[in-house]
Structure 1
């Protein structure tokens, strides 16, 4: 079993920012917090602090 965390911003191709492999769901579930931290760090690096285009008010 493999889980990949992807980051795709507008107009860009998706990029794998984290991945984990395991034989069982409990093994994979244990890896999820670290994968989400990697995703959060990737988002923080790409954030320009501006408004999101086309976002609802």
Structure 2
């Protein structure tokens, strides 16, 4: 699905009373998710083990 089609489908599913700013936030969220998934597909992701170590370091201080 193209980015344009993704936005069209998103807007169709959103409540009709959202402001333009709220719609923009939804589009930005979807764009960030798609970008993250693309990075994972390219092998640029962070392993679960690395995340667990980071969280453990944050919570044991």
The structure with the larger Rg is: 2
Establish whether TM, by shorter chain, passes 0.5: no
With normalisation by structure 1, the TM-score equals 0.39
Select the structure with the greater relative contact order (CA < 8 A; seq sep ≥ 6). 1
Q: Which has the larger strand fraction?
A: 1
